[in-house]
């Protein structure tokens, strides 16, 4: 599988930024991808050494929209929490870069 198809986007939240200060980075990844493929894709794309990968499947919630408050189901997605070697960083999570 292509590394661009594995990593969809980074997760930028208050919690993920707190993790980034500890050397852990959160990404939305393809649901069919395993931990080994995620590790290889992160290492190739960002030029870092990954020590650990945790994954979690997030349930899709219902969301209301419009004047009639119609409901729609948000899709199920998978996130990966990647731990890097001590001293390494990913520039996407640095403030001001």
**Given this model, what pLDDT does residue 14 score?**
92
What pairs with residue 80 in β-bridges?
Answer: 27, 55
Does 3.30.70.330 match the CATH number of domain 3-87? yes
For residue 37, which of 83, 12, 5, 75 has the smallest C-alpha distance? 5
> Which pLDDT score, from 0 to 100, does residue 73 have?
94
- β-pair partners for 64: 71
pLDDT at residue number 57: 97
Model pTM? 0.84
The pLDDT mean for the chain works out to 91
Q: Any long-range contacts for 56-65 (C-beta under 8 Å, 24+ apart)?
A: 56/80, 56/81, 57/31
Q: Name which of 3, 4, 8 is nearest 77 in CA terms.
A: 8
Evaluate if residue 97 carries a pLDDT over 60.
no
- The torsion of the CA quartet 10, 12, 14, 20, rounded to 10 degrees, works out to 40
Q: What's CA 71's distance to the chain center, in Å?
A: 26
The residue ranges of every structural domain in the chain are 3-87
Write out pLDDT tens, residues 55-75.
999 999 999 999 999 999 999
């Amino acid at each position: 599988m292509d590394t661009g198809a594995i990593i969809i986007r980074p997760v930028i939240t208050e919690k993920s930024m707190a993790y980034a200060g500890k050397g852990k980075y959160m990404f939305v990844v393809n649901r069919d991808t395993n931990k080994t493929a995620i590790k290889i894709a992160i290492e190739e794309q960002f030029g870092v050494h990954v020590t650990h990968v945790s994954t979690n499947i997030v349930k899709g919630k219902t969301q209301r929209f419009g004047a009639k408050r119609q409901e729609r189901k948000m899709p199920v997605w998978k996130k990966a929490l990647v731990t890097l070697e001590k001293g390494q960083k990913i520039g996407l999570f640095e403030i001001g870069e």
